[in-house]
Structure 1
Amino acid sequence: MDTSELTALLTPEGLRLLDEVGPIASTDDAARVVSRLRSAGHSPDLVSAVVGQARLRVRAAAKFGAFAERMLFTRAGLEQATRLSIAARHAGRFRTAGLSRVADLGCGIGGDALGLAGLGIRVHAVDADEVTAAIAAYNLAPFGETTTVSHARAEDVDLDGVDAVWLDPARRTAGHSETRQVSSQEWSPALDWVFAVLADRSGGVKLGPGFDRERIPDDVEAQWISADGSTIELVLWSGALAREGVHRAALVVRGDDTWELTAPGDSPDVEPSELGAFVHEPDGAVIRARLIGEIARSLQAGMLSPGIAYLTSDAALTSPFVSSFRVREQLPADPKKLAQALRARGIGTLEIKKRGVDVDPAVLRKKLSLRGDAAATLIMTRVGSKRLALLADRV
């Protein structure tokens, strides 16, 4: 969306037309709506903006639920936005710490600011892109005077009147649609400036989950977060927002349920064990936080192989922090022999998981020519230089 499209959309006619069009889920539906609106005499800018927003609202439902039906988006802003359920959890930490005035520096379309404002926290949201700031202002408008939005660089904001900051540095090239990731030297605001702000006051900074651990400051709490099986972000917390004695945390969210594992630092891995009755795969947030050892000890498990994030045990224990599999048997790792073994067992539905081996599950699946009514999980990994193919069932 460019400035001319936004100008056309942010009018009574444009917003009314957007509501009338409703959600647009497919390319064919979009083409029909474009044709109908152009035939009715609407301008190209307005038609493009309305149809684009109608399609983005459909995609946004996964992050914002029913709220998406009254929000505006850019494609890049939606991709980078925090899910509303996660933003609400972040906001809860600010409220628990008694911080009532927050500057959201790099607010994007306003996802995190929505979470803060929804808990009654006063928010000053700032974005360096004019179109994005205007969209954030629209999305935050229902909260009235408790939220303000500025088009400005984060570095130029006066922070004297706020209790804490929330930072989400832009990690992609500028733009509203197709963007690409950039190196940390090109982030906006710059990472050194972000860390300096974090060292000076209470705050949180949202980063990608694969952020270089060597660059994490020593005096912050690092919390990796996964949602419904995907590791989505790393948040560094400082000041009153960092919990005493916690430097590593893994937050696992599945639907409305959450579990968290915390520790004063990285947890040492446990010793390797022979293959047992169960294999456990730690959640991605646990792996990123390097808390595998904590989970292994709770499951009476050992590492299946050093450096590979699979645990094994004979104890019939599991945890919200792992996916557990009961091992049926070990099969040949050679694709031809493996295919024969699976056909002999009538397995036509197969989940393929792999760690530590150069295997493309999609390519392997084609080679296996699966047939049958049975279902199972195939775990491909290695112990030392030996490949393992384990047939298993999810617990």
Structure 2
Amino acid sequence: MDVAELRELLTPEALRLLDELEPSGAVSDAVALVSRLRKAGHPPALVAAVLTQYRLRRKAEAKFGPFAQRMLFTQEGLEQASRLRVAAVHAGRFAAAGLTRVADLGCGIGGDAMAMASLDLRVTAVERDEATAAIAAYNLVPFPTAQVAHGDALEQPLDAVDAVWLDPARREGASRLSSPDDWSPSLTQALAIARQRPGGIKLAPGMDRALLPEGLEAQWISVDGEVVELVLWSGALARPGVGRAALVLRGDELPAELRAAADSDDVEPGPLGEYLYEPDGAVIRARLIGDLARSMGGRMLDPTIAYLTADRPTATPFARGFRVLERLPLDTARIKRALASRGIGVLEIKKRGVDIDPAALRPKLALRGAESAVLVLTRSAGERVALIAERCD
């Protein structure tokens, strides 16, 4: 967002129009909206600014829920912002550690600062981009314990704070910055700051594990099955004896976390049992599959594949379970006949460790019938197999 668009947006007329618009995701409604605003005599620049925010608010509902309807956004800021539920978990960790004065260095649109301020933490939110800082200031107006500073995170004095939260900018416009040296602040700079004060550093979940420093807690977080971020915790925010953690947030269920001092050793592979388990992505990223398998009395299906198998069912928040109905060689004709014999017309296809395109396979199966199933394409003891299964939950 450039400053000219920001000026159009931060006017009483634009904000009033934006708040009066009815939520809708339909393209035809958006087109009609533009036409209506133009006919009402609103300038094209104002209409464009309002329409952009209208669309971003619809998109932001996935992360911010109903709070999105009173917030403002930039496209880049929304993409990098933490989901509100995740931000609330982070804020709770600061509060539980008794750290009440936090510098949010690289605050973006202010989502994490909102969560902290909602717990009455005193937050100084720092953002170097002028337009984004103004957006953050607007979003934080309801929170008297938060203030926004337009400036460089690296130049922010830390004398008056107990802790820091860093979310390095990993994009520049439409381009993703792949090198940690190019982030703002860079990973090296962020780690240096987190050594001065207890801190959390939010990173992409797929970051190269070779870059993880010793002595910090690494926590991978998933929301409804999607791994959304990795956080490195330092000082009083890092839990004693915890080097790796997988936090699973799913629906209305209570948060569940698997913790260990370090990467866990895998368990030995063994024969396919009656049940197959797909570990949550956070567990896989944290390399805690072995600990999960041992807690379930399970075994690896294949030494190179992140599937577990067991002879008895186990309810766990850290994996999704399937009851295996039939095992077949990975042969399209045989799979087609087996599905037809069971009357399978609705099929979920999962694959791991095999080079097959499920979208290309599906029409070849000629699915017919009223029954549903899950088809898992994978390897077992080095052999390519197809497993017809049903979900346990």
Structure 1-normalised TM-score?
0.96
Deviation at 1:338, TM superposition (A): 1.5
Deviation at 1:86, TM superposition (A): 0.7
Question: Partner of 1:296 in structure 2?
Answer: 293
Paired residues of 1:76 and 1:179 also in contact (CA < 8 A): no
Output the amino acid matched with 1:129.
D
2: CA distance between counterparts of 1:250 and 1:140?
30
After superposition, residues 110-125 of structure 1 pair within 5 angstroms as 110-125=110-125
The reply on whether 1:188 has 2:184 as its aligned counterpart is yes
Q: Which sits farther off after the overlay, 15-24 or 276-285? A: 15-24
Return the match for 1:355 from 352, 355, 371. Answer: 352
List runs of 5+ in structure 1 lacking aligned partners. none
Q: Equivalent residue of 1:125, what SS?
A: strand
2: CA distance between counterparts of 1:363 and 1:80?
33
Question: Partner of 2:15 in structure 1?
Answer: 15
Deviation at 1:169, TM superposition (A): 0.5
Q: Equivalent residue of 2:55, what SS?
A: helix
Question: Partner of 2:339 in structure 1?
Answer: 342
Deviation digits for residues 339-374 of structure 1, max 9, x if unmatched?
222122211111111111112222222222211111
| Residues 181 and 367 (structure 1), Cα distance of their counterparts in 2 relative to 1, 3 Å cut | farther
Question: Partner of 2:388 in structure 1?
Answer: 391
Question: Partner of 2:168 in structure 1?
Answer: 169
The reply on whether 1:230 has 2:229 as its aligned counterpart is no
Question: Partner of 1:152 in structure 2?
Answer: 151
Paired residues of 1:327 and 1:393 also in contact (CA < 8 A): yes
Q: Equivalent residue of 2:49, what SS?
A: helix
After superposition, residues 31-180 of structure 1 pair within 5 angstroms as 31-144=31-144, 146-173=145-172, 175=173, 178-180=174-176
Paired residues of 2:344 and 2:370 also in contact (CA < 8 A): yes
Question: Partner of 1:258 in structure 2?
Answer: 255
Output the amino acid matched with 2:249.
V
Paired residues of 2:249 and 2:256 also in contact (CA < 8 A): yes
Question: Partner of 2:324 in structure 1?
Answer: 327
Deviation at 1:118, TM superposition (A): 0.5
Deviation at 1:181, TM superposition (A): 4.3
Deviation at 1:183, TM superposition (A): 2.4
1: CA distance between counterparts of 2:129 and 2:293?
46
2: CA distance between counterparts of 1:356 and 1:91?
38
Question: Partner of 1:207 in structure 2?
Answer: 203
Q: Equivalent residue of 2:326, what SS?
A: strand
Deviation digits for residues 139-184 of structure 1, max 9, x if unmatched?
001113x1111121211111111110000001111x3xx4434322
Return the match for 1:286 from 273, 283, 286. Answer: 283
Paired residues of 1:22 and 1:54 also in contact (CA < 8 A): no
Deviation at 1:200, TM superposition (A): 2.0
Paired residues of 1:249 and 1:289 also in contact (CA < 8 A): yes
Paired residues of 1:348 and 1:375 also in contact (CA < 8 A): yes
Paired residues of 2:198 and 2:236 also in contact (CA < 8 A): yes
Q: Equivalent residue of 1:233, what SS?
A: strand
1: CA distance between counterparts of 2:209 and 2:333?
41
Deviation at 1:377, TM superposition (A): 0.7
2: CA distance between counterparts of 1:206 and 1:31?
38
Paired residues of 1:350 and 1:377 also in contact (CA < 8 A): yes
Q: Equivalent residue of 2:23, what SS?
A: coil
Q: Equivalent residue of 2:176, what SS?
A: coil
Q: Equivalent residue of 2:171, what SS?
A: coil
The alignment-based identity, stated in percent, is: 61
Deviation at 1:337, TM superposition (A): 2.5
Alpha-carbon RMSD: 1.2
2: CA distance between counterparts of 1:293 and 1:141?
47
2: CA distance between counterparts of 1:111 and 1:358?
40
Paired residues of 2:272 and 2:380 also in contact (CA < 8 A): no
Q: Equivalent residue of 1:19, what SS?
A: helix
Paired residues of 1:380 and 1:387 also in contact (CA < 8 A): yes
2: CA distance between counterparts of 1:194 and 1:336?
55
Deviation at 1:88, TM superposition (A): 0.5
Output the amino acid matched with 1:284.
G
Q: Equivalent residue of 1:33, what SS?
A: helix
Q: Equivalent residue of 2:188, what SS?
A: helix
Q: Equivalent residue of 1:143, what SS?
A: coil
Output the amino acid matched with 1:159.
L
Deviation digits for residues 227-266 of structure 1, max 9, x if unmatched?
0010111000000000011111110001232101111111
2: CA distance between counterparts of 1:338 and 1:186?
48
Question: Partner of 1:276 in structure 2?
Answer: 273
Deviation at 1:55, TM superposition (A): 1.4
Q: Equivalent residue of 2:45, what SS?
A: helix
Deviation at 1:384, TM superposition (A): 4.6
Structure 2-normalised TM-score?
0.97
Output the amino acid matched with 1:110.
G
2: CA distance between counterparts of 1:296 and 1:186?
38
1: CA distance between counterparts of 2:91 and 2:363?
46
